[in-house]
Structure 1
């Protein structure tokens, strides 16, 4: 391990050992079939150990994806994932929550593949009431193709937090009082997919896929969902009763000091794009950015 790796390990030990509240419950390993079903190209999904591990395959004929069996309103969602290795430029691996209305809400992890030797880019985005354009991009402090890492979302009435291995990398606060819509009344399903970026990649300045490197494989395990079931309107109404679930408790209304310091560490060392500071796109600072401490 190099000097940089030692510093990263020491930092992570410091920030995780100092947390006194607001750490989501530890995910429980469950098989794929408990919470998910394929959505398309099911023949491109491979199962191992009774569904404890799943691989998504992308080739020149098709990608594939899956979704949760139920819909949810608030909770904690996580996957342990290992990204496509080697030359994966033009390949996108997505893990996200989304409602199915015209003014939809969405909470996104998108992993943007790379040429061999270049770092993966992790892009996050939040849509509220159909409005997105809130991209943030970071490099990860590890190689996500070598081993499984945990990617999770905490969603309650106060905030949305993106975590990587329990390290918060982004927070999106409820800024309804500032005129910014927040996801609070549209149940969402969980989705994941492996697909070719194609035109989207070209528009975003990413390189196109090299099909000679196919098939591309992303691996998943630990299909954890700890959330309020909102599959029916009656169930969704119960989910809106605040204060009863662990994620509604005061410890999860905000990040604590050590968590904010770790978030600042990610922003200062690994952030490569933040819509909050993009004056070409937004001549004035979006109102949520100050509350999210993004500026």
Structure 2
């Protein structure tokens, strides 16, 4: 399976490298934007705040969270995931509001036995309800180098991107009664934790603690976003990135969608690398797929 995945997607990999070369990395430092939130010193800021690492051992994992809350924006982060035998571990990178009826936008990277492709688990929660999972194999080894993982979140849609290649779009379908996360400010979080009850092959493969500590690395966080403060928000924006278009005249992330090239790359990823789509899970939804899937726009 691993050989098939890596060779079948060589064309897209080269394309994504070409596109990502136009991305501009943030010059900020982690201590300006984030607080270590848990893990008892297992999370560290290094190189004068330019590098952050999280680690997991048998006792505890670790995590961090942004100092600011955002209501819409584009967030980019470069991650290098746990290398070697990472089975049972999950590296989560997500936006979330607070409370039982929270909104959330998720990347979760599911660990694996050495040599197998990483699985990217994505989900969108609105008003405390998720169940909108899509999963993909990555078309490269995410443990060998840093790669950029991005959210574009605006009032019209949410776009998940890997090295600026779109892998998923979740549209605002409030017009047909589907809730959309557009009223609750969210912080950005990341954590490295043990989930061997489900993370690898449904929990069949457990964490090998002889390989601990497990470590994930982060750099070059960038947020072009509306920062929420005291019930209001202020926004900063930048021009659209290649492969992501905007409504004519806007020129920024606030109305971004996919241009023709972005749609082509999205279809390519979903054709060859999608391994689970809740919209196609008829055993899970015997009464019919969720309402937003029926519009034919879940791709």
TM range (shorter): 0.7 to 0.9
Provide TM-score, normalisation by structure 1.
Answer: 0.87
The structure-2 alpha-carbon separation of the partners of 1:153 and 1:59, relative to structure 1 and needing over 3 Å to count, comes to: same
- Map 1:75-224 → 2, pairs under 5 A: 75-201=73-199, 204-205=202-203, 207-224=205-222
How far apart, CA to CA, are the structure 1 residues paired with 2:183 and 2:145? 36
1:53 equivalent in alignment to 2:51: yes
Provide TM-score, normalisation by structure 2.
Answer: 0.86
How far apart, CA to CA, are the structure 2 residues paired with 1:47 and 1:277? 42
* CA RMSD, Structure 1 to Structure 2 (Å): 2.5
The structure-2 alpha-carbon separation of the partners of 1:6 and 1:104, relative to structure 1 and needing over 3 Å to count, comes to: closer
How far apart, CA to CA, are the structure 2 residues paired with 1:163 and 1:292? 20
What does residue 21 of structure 1 align with?
none
Gaps of 5+ in 2: 1-5, 236-248
Gaps of 5+ in 1: 18-23
Tell me, yes or no, if the aligned pair for 1:35 and 1:225 is still in contact at 8 Å: no
How far apart, CA to CA, are the structure 1 residues paired with 2:207 and 2:7? 34
Report how far residue 244 of structure 1 moved.
Answer: 8.3
Say which structure is richer in helix: 1
What does residue 223 of structure 2 align with?
225
Report how far residue 46 of structure 1 moved.
Answer: 2.4
Report how far residue 116 of structure 1 moved.
Answer: 1.0
1:285 equivalent in alignment to 2:289: yes
How far apart, CA to CA, are the structure 2 residues paired with 1:70 and 1:292? 35
